[in-house]
Amino acid sequence: MRADDVARYLRENPDFFESYADMLAEITVPHPHGGRAIPLSDRQMLGLREKSRALESRLTELLSCRSARRTTRSARRCTA
């Protein structure tokens, strides 16, 4: 059995882990920033934290652009 077969099976059977919930606690995956294995839940948390940081960064960037546009418009009104 290949990894693709397992992935396809899990996609086609989303309720698999409802029947085998105890397996989720046993599954470990490589740490994304090192070689040691960590629980699947820890890996998911790392992924969510990275996504959160990226979204916060994007939000800050968008708010900065908005603020810069407002400042530019205000400056134009004051000089006109």
pLDDT tens for residues 37-57? 888 888 889 889 999 999 999
Question: Where in the sequence is the domain holding 44, given as residue range(s)?
Answer: 3-79
- Report the percentage of the chain scoring pLDDT > 70: 90
The more confidently predicted of residues 30 and 58 is 58
Residue 39 contacts by C-beta under 8 Å, 6 or more apart in sequence?
Answer: 25, 27, 28
Question: 38 - beta bridge partners?
Answer: 29
In this prediction, residues 25-41 reach a mean pLDDT of 82
Q: Match 């908005």 to its residue by tokens.
A: 66
Residue 28 contacts by C-beta under 8 Å, 6 or more apart in sequence?
Answer: 37, 38, 39, 40
pTM above 0.85, yes or no: no
Q: Taking 60 as the threshold, does the pLDDT of residue 78 lie above it? A: no
Report the domain count for the chain.
1
